Amino acid sequence: MTKKYGKVYLVGGGPGDPGLITVKGKEILGKADTVVHDYLVNPELLSYTKPGAELVCVGKKAGHTVMPQGEINDLLVEKARGGRTVARLKGGDPFIFGRGGEEAEALAARGIEFEIVPGVTSAAAVPAYAGIPLTHRKTASSFAVVTGHENPAKGESGIEWGVVAQMGTVVFLMGVTNLAGNMKKLIEFGMSPDTPAAVISRGTYPSQASVTGTVADIAEKAAAREDISSPAIVVTGEVVRFSDVISWYEKKPLFGKRIVVTRPREQARPLSSLFEEMGAEVVEFPAIEIAPPGSYAVLDNALKALGSYDWIIFTSVNGVRGFFERLGRLGLDVREMHGPKVAAIGEVTAEELGAHGINVDMMPADYVAEGLIELFRKTDLAGRRILIPRAKEAREILPESLRKMGARVDVAPVYRTKKAGKTKTAALRKEISEGRIDVITFTSSSTVRNFLETVGEIRIFSGRKPVFACIGPVTAKTLADSGYEAAVVPAEYTAGGLAEAVADYFKDLK
């Protein structure tokens, strides 16, 4: 019986922005048993892998190799022969200076099934993120993509410099190290020294930096900039002039800002995505974890008697989720809620209820407990029964105020927050102290307390102090009680409101 081998997928991961991986590439990562990836692949792409997948970094980047190419080829063969589905994840496109051809040859020679999954090449994507079209009807009808550093073992250059120098646009990949020499070659073979040129460093990342000049002076200009380094792409041609007009990525409102998101891991992505869409680089540092309450006794008794309540008040999305999850575990469903009216603090909480088929009867304009209390003052609560499914640890102002109005209030813990385990605390503390963090965001009082308890005193030894941004006044007060002032508190106490307020803050500074 012939032994069944696995399969290798040579996957292009795109130039850096994780949103630029292809749909198929993401799908392959989700099913691979082993992912063999290069050093420069955005680590966020590895979050698409399935639980338990083996991750192997082979460390390839310009000028540095942890594992020689021959050993990488052997590794791919070994894993496939072990029956594993292997994703060989490369930056950009595997067949454009990615040595994917060599790996495919090795797999074919040893009878290993493989498939090529093309990626978005940095040759096109990085100039696009800098506002440089490779072709333009008015100025360039052809372009060349050239390696920025040839293999020195080749002896004579394999680049047709005479042809390249006559192209409308020339793109050098990995072009910083030999920038001066390559520009000299272009001039030597007939390109005008006045031809516009650009260097784009860390393209498609929030830390992208670019500098423009001419073929004659671009090397000098790039060397004078501390933020221009490998990996970088060099572009020459008249199309570079368009960057002044159509540059878009570096004009995003939060471009280049590093923002810490302290939300629980399972809730961080929506807020992080908002900041990333505005051009920021997000550091996710969950300050809390959502965990089951110590006991479900109070909640279970309430769920079995939902019809006896006049109102159910939900104060958070986590409260809604925990409520309905427990309702289902008890063999009950939404039909149990036909009697009581429902109130919610906040638009997002109301939307989560809507996803479960529940319309909200009451929601304050200000998404805080005090706003809801004011609305209930207009209602006769004498003898009314109210259920509040919420976190085990929360402010008591809502139930206490409702009881003073004559209501019978049951507070049922549906979840609790606990301090999240940390593995990158020292690294974040160092970044803060060196002034490399622009904003730290807090979305609840518990994120404030646990963050400060984990990270400790915010001390700056060099650079700028971070801006503190809180989702609402209650969170801001908790921060103030801890000795720090929130510079940003949005008028709308939502994730979207917080992101917009941070953007407005930096816009006003400009």
For residues 203 and 174, the answer to whether their CB atoms sit within 8 Å is no
Residue 128 lies in a domain: yes
pLDDT of residue 60: 60
CATH of the domain at 150: 3.30.950.10
301 and 414, same structural domain?
yes
Q: 344 by DSSP, 3-state: which?
A: strand
Count structural domains, the chain. 4
Residue reference for tokens 């089951």? 292
For residues 499 and 274, the answer to whether their CB atoms sit within 8 Å is yes
Residue 2 lies in a domain: no
493 and 451, same structural domain?
yes
Burial label for 162, CB within 10 Å (0-12, 13-18, 19+), is exposed
21 and 170, same structural domain?
no
Residue 344 lies in a domain: yes
For residues 79 and 107, the answer to whether their CB atoms sit within 8 Å is no
166 and 186, same structural domain?
yes
Boundary-marking domain end, from 100, 120, 140: 120
d(C-alpha 205, C-alpha 201), whole Å: 9
Question: How many DSSP H helices and E strands does the chain contain?
Answer: 18, 19
Question: What is the dihedral sign for C-alpha 437, 443, 448, 453?
Answer: negative
Per-residue pLDDT of the chain (510 residues; tens, 9 = 90+): 455 799 999 999 999 999 999 999 999 999 999 999 998 899 989 999 999 999 999 976 555 557 899 999 999 999 999 999 999 999 999 999 989 999 999 999 999 999 999 999 999 999 999 999 999 999 999 999 999 876 555 567 789 999 999 999 999 998 898 999 999 999 999 999 999 999 999 999 999 999 999 999 999 999 999 999 989 999 999 999 999 999 999 999 999 999 999 998 888 889 999 999 999 999 999 988 888 998 999 999 999 999 999 999 999 999 999 999 999 999 998 888 888 999 999 888 999 999 999 999 999 988 888 999 999 999 999 999 999 999 888 888 999 999 999 999 999 999 988 877 766 888 899 999 999 999 999 999 999 999 999 998 888 877 788 999 999 999 999 999 999 999 999 998 989 999 999 999 999 886
> What does the DSSP assignment read for 266-319?
HHHHHHHHHHHHTTPEEEE---EEEE--S--HHHHHHHTTGGG-SEEEE-SHHH
296 and 405, same structural domain?
yes
Residue in 288, 278, 285, 289 with CA at minimum distance from that of residue 261: 285
d(C-alpha 472, C-alpha 2), whole Å: 65
341 and 410, same structural domain?
yes
Give kind and range of the element (H or E) at residue 234: strand 232-236
Residue 1 lies in a domain: no
How would you classify the pairing of strands 169-173 and 232-236? antiparallel
Count the neighbouring beta carbons within 10 Å of the beta carbon of residue 46: 17
CATH of the domain at 495: 3.40.50.10090
Q: State if pTM tops 0.85.
A: no
106 and 143, same structural domain?
no
pLDDT of residue 1: 42
152 and 234, same structural domain?
yes
pLDDT of residue 365: 87
For residues 21 and 46, the answer to whether their CB atoms sit within 8 Å is no
242 and 129, same structural domain?
yes
For residues 119 and 216, the answer to whether their CB atoms sit within 8 Å is no
pLDDT of residue 372: 93
282 and 295, same structural domain?
no
pLDDT of residue 6: 95
Residue 154 lies in a domain: yes
239 and 138, same structural domain?
yes
pLDDT of residue 175: 85
d(C-alpha 254, C-alpha 462), whole Å: 22
d(C-alpha 43, C-alpha 23), whole Å: 17
Which tokens go with 436? 């490399």
304 and 209, same structural domain?
no
Could you say which DSSP state residue 213 is in?
A: E
CB under 8 Å to 241, separation ≥6 — which residues? 139, 196
Residues belonging to the chain: 510
Boundary-marking domain end, from 120, 152, 183: 120
Q: Which residues are catalytic?
A: 38, 60, 174
Residue in 69, 66, 83, 74 with CA at minimum distance from that of residue 7: 83
Boundary-marking domain end, from 418, 437, 466: 418
Residue 228 lies in a domain: yes
For residues 103 and 132, the answer to whether their CB atoms sit within 8 Å is no
- Name the E strands within 58-192: 85-90, 113-117, 143-147, 169-173
> What does the DSSP assignment read for 447-464?
HHHHHHHHH-S---SSS-
Question: What is the dihedral sign for C-alpha 423, 426, 430, 432?
Answer: positive
Give kind and range of the element (H or E) at residue 299: helix 297-303
Domain residue limits at 81: 7-120
